[in-house]
Amino acid sequence: MTSNFSLEGKVAFITGSTRGMGWATARTLTRFGATVILNGINSQDLLEQRKEELKKEFNVECDGFLFDVGDMDAAQNCYNQIFKKHKKLDILVNNAGTLDDNLVGMIRKEDIRHTFSTNVNGVIYNLQFAARLMSRNKSGSIINISSLVGRVGNEGQVVYGGSKAAVIGITLSAARELASKNIRVNAIAPGFINTDFVKPLPPAIFQQRLNSVKMGRIGEPEEVANAVLFLASDLSSYITGQVLGVDGGMIM
């Protein structure tokens, strides 16, 4: 571990952190010294399991909050609890996301409502509450997880792509607003990553997506987590308002 990558003494909250990229990020930030706070939505048992896994692997205690990031009141209560216990927040990773999509002409109202509630409203709610805590110390890093689809689009993903494009717009606007408070806001746009989102893909679609990756392989959640680590650490102290692609060269 290098000193520049060290997150010792920093408190990090990661939404959607019981599986996939969020869980990989939780393990990575904990490994580099951060006090990590987890978030899940559906299973208290899984949340408790993840807390125990971090305790066993890294000999640390961590908190966890079960709530829907698209519920503003629940999010506010979470940040009240974070302040009550830790008195600060240094890092927010807006990772929680969902994918409810269909072809144009078949998109349901519920698809739009649910996707935007989680992927857009949830990002704004958490960013706002985190910024309030970070402003107290005039320091912080907010990392929003967007998607390659939010940058270049994809057939059948109008709703998801729209929500992830919104995350980029949120990131750029918040970065401008919060820079004077020394709060950095950046986004990561993962490409084809080995998460639960890709498991339902038919083999032909999977191979088609894989063929578009210039590096010739699917990405792993830990590779996204490493990018989060960089943006959370002091190595990126002069970087804000950026969108970092982690896509193996899909859009070169």
- 3-class SS at 133? helix
Determine which one of 79, 125, 160, 238 is catalytic: 160
238 is catalytic: no
Higher pLDDT, residue 82 or 201? 82
Domains assigned to the chain:
3-245 (3.40.50.720)
- The strands making up 140-145's β-sheet, listed across from edge to edge, are 63-66, 35-40, 11-14, 91-94, 140-145, 183-190, 243-246
Q: What is the mean pLDDT of residues 93-115?
A: 93
Measure the CA–CA gap between 233 and 149, rounded to whole angstroms.
26
Cβ atoms of 224 and 24 within 8 Å: the answer is: yes
Render pLDDT for 139-157 as a digit per residue (tens, 0 to 9).
Answer: 999 999 999 999 999 888 9
Measure the CA–CA gap between 184 and 81, rounded to whole angstroms.
23
> How many residues are given for the chain?
252
Q: What angle do CA 158, 160, 164 make, to 5 degrees?
A: 115
Residue 199's pLDDT is: 82
**pLDDT range class, residue 1, cuts 50, 70, 90:** very low
